[in-house]
Structure 1
Amino acid sequence: MSKSQIEMPVADARTQNSITEEQAQFFLDNGFLVIKGVLRGEELATVQAEMEKQVAKGVAGVQDDPDYMYGKGGKTGRNVLRRVEYVIDKSDPMKALLGHPFILRSVEKLQGNNFIPTWDSMVLKMPDEGIIVPWHRDAEVPAGCTDPRPIFNVDFYLDSADLMTCLWVIPGSNKWSKEACKARIEQDGADRFSTEDAIPVPLEAGDAIFHDITVLHGSPAGDGNPLRRTVYYEFRPGEIEWNYGPHTHEYLGLKQQMLLECLERRAAASYAQGEEPFVYKPDGEFALGERTALESFRYPHLEYWRG
């Protein structure tokens, strides 16, 4: 069976409580999974509006704020906004999004109940300025780690992504060696994006995709592309973070407290009324202690980096 003919199960947050065992196994085997209808109605409109504020702020230019990142536009070569870091800290609806029950029940199924939220960012393709995002892995599994559980991102699409702007993935490359990945990346270089062994993942606004940090993915340049905003929340099994890093033990406790606060923000959101909330119940050395008041929702990675 060719990559284009792969039988791809699709989860649906509108009708499911969490991903199924079949969908979980597809994700483990292939490194990605599409989830339809994660954000809809009032929540989708609210999150889109909140992130539009961040886009407008970044487009206007932000002095001396490393959270707003820029790159050369694909068509004009001008400096254009490409990424905004720590979006949970910047927006209450993004806090509520972290508490999304379908997403968290699915993360728990794949990583166990001691999972930790780690990164939160928004990545953009600005209108008519799409550039090639070469084939890459987001990161490697920490050195020495033999834990088979996946580390992955949940990508929330705030805009529809067609073949001009969508993510492409190479199914199963999450199981490749570093050497095999390096060879495939070098096959194209920075100026070519071949897709003969890949499949596109077009999505509607409000859909999401789980993608393993080790699966090869990227996107072609868009000529006349519309705006594409994607919010990324990364999750890691707590045991992997505790034993191998990259963050310190202190960071894990802070992010647990942050998740608890975000679950409360979701419970109070008008669009979350009537849904079955997620209950975070880590155990063992990750068992929750006394609640502490958070001074911030922004915990810079390098300030909590080992070594």
Structure 2
Amino acid sequence: MLTPEQKGFYDDNGYLMVEDVLTSDELMKLQEITYDLIDQSRDVTENTDVYDLDKGHSRETPRLTRIKLPHKVDPYYDQILKNSGVTEVLRDLLGDSATLLTAKLNTKAPGGGAAVEWHQDWAFYPHTNDNVLAFGLMLEDVTEERGPLKVIPGSHKGPILSHHNNGVFCGAVDPDDPDFHHDKAVTLTGKAGSMTVHHARTLHGSAPNVSDRARLILFYEIARADAWPILGAGSYYHALGQRKFWEDLKSRQIIGEPCNEPLLENVPVRMPVPPAPDSSSIFKTQASGGARSAFA
């Protein structure tokens, strides 16, 4: 699906925009399911296994930061991952065997929906090699006002910056870090049905949504099958035990078969410990860990 030029751009810059990766029918069904889930949150008064609520959430005005693990909430989110144009993009970038790490639907409520401070995904979940990426499906048009994803081109080839504050993992970089080149940031706006991809080591973040509509982006984090997670990160599968982990791994396979021969490469790693007081989401990690904002 990707051209050689697109694959080369991703290799050089650590990000990519792919337009019209979803069909109109696929996009419409995802929108319907998502807005129905948001509507169902009206009766929710505190964070659950499905919903992370934003400030000001109420029955009259539902405001969410995130729908957690959407592929486990509705099977269509999983189907899109495993049988659509998205699958072919992943095949082009990761090869014939790839595994889902996790997924979330960042809804970013209108009128100030929470920012995601600058970070590298790799800081949250280091692996045995860095053939790891995240991609976002835009379920609505994403404009500058809606708090789009911002990335720093080429940062995936640089250092892993500290994501600690006062000795605690806060899930964000210090805006004054000399290796944080905010002036080089690129903003990824696009129309509904488009897909952004960024390498796990690419520095990225997003400002608050100051528009009057939600910013709906469906994010999946994916690893090539021979990239195995390193113990000490926060993912649920570290607590499963050997047999349950293997069964869970098989259920997360997107392309090909699970791999039991990890590729070990010389990659920079700083473990995300000790954890922030509340590490239940990136929003809670950054807030409770005292992360400094680059969007202030």
Supply the distance in 1 between the matched residues of 2:260 and 2:35 (Cα, whole angstroms). 40
Shift of 1:259: 4.8
Residue 2 (structure 2) aligns with: 19
Range 83-92 or range 172-181, more displaced: 172-181
Residue 153 (structure 2) aligns with: 171
Supply the distance in 2 between the matched residues of 1:242 and 1:170 (Cα, whole angstroms). 25
3-state SS, counterpart of residue 17 of structure 2: strand
Distance 1:200 1:48, change over 3 A: same
Residue 161 (structure 1) aligns with: 142
Supply the distance in 1 between the matched residues of 2:75 and 2:231 (Cα, whole angstroms). 31
Among 250, 255, 272, the residue aligned to 1:256: 250
> Is residue 2:131 matched to residue 1:150?
yes
Supply the distance in 1 between the matched residues of 2:13 and 2:164 (Cα, whole angstroms). 18
Supply the distance in 1 between the matched residues of 2:106 and 2:127 (Cα, whole angstroms). 30
Among 56, 65, 71, the residue aligned to 1:82: 65
Can you give the 5+ residue segments of structure 1 that lack an aligned partner in the other structure? 1-17, 261-279, 287-301, 303-307
Distance 1:258 1:123, change over 3 A: same
CA contact (8 A) 1:238 1:252 kept: no
Equivalent residues, number: 242
Shift of 1:59: 3.9
Range 43-52 or range 62-71, more displaced: 62-71
- AA of the residue aligned to 2:202: V
CA contact (8 A) 1:129 1:225 kept: no
Shift of 1:66: 2.8
> Is residue 2:270 matched to residue 1:281?
no
Supply the distance in 2 between the matched residues of 1:282 and 1:57 (Cα, whole angstroms). 36
- AA of the residue aligned to 2:139: L
TM superposition score normalised by structure 1: 0.67
CA contact (8 A) 1:181 1:216 kept: no
- AA of the residue aligned to 2:160: K
Among 173, 198, 216, the residue aligned to 1:185: 173
- AA of the residue aligned to 1:119: T
3-state SS, counterpart of residue 164 of structure 1: helix
RMSD value, Cα: 3.4
What are the within-5 Å matches in structure 2 for residues 40-55 of structure 1?
A: 40-55=23-38
CA contact (8 A) 1:173 1:181 kept: no
**Which string of whole-angstrom CA distances, capped at 9 and with x for unpartnered residues, describes residues 124-158 of structure 1?**
1112133332211223386573x3x5211121110
Shift of 1:212: 1.6
CA contact (8 A) 1:141 1:214 kept: no
Among 195, 200, 214, the residue aligned to 1:208: 195
Residue 232 (structure 1) aligns with: 219
- AA of the residue aligned to 2:140: D
Shift of 1:25: 2.3
TM superposition score normalised by structure 2: 0.69
Q: Which has the higher helix share?
A: 1
Identity %: 20
- AA of the residue aligned to 1:198: A
Residue 297 (structure 1) aligns with: none
What are the within-5 Å matches in structure 2 for residues 24-35 of structure 1?
A: 24-35=7-18
Distance 1:252 1:240, change over 3 A: farther
- AA of the residue aligned to 2:145: M
CA contact (8 A) 1:152 1:211 kept: yes
Supply the distance in 2 between the matched residues of 1:88 and 1:144 (Cα, whole angstroms). 22
- AA of the residue aligned to 1:282: E
Distance 1:243 1:253, change over 3 A: farther
Distance 1:63 1:178, change over 3 A: closer
Supply the distance in 1 between the matched residues of 2:231 and 2:110 (Cα, whole angstroms). 40
Residue 296 (structure 1) aligns with: none
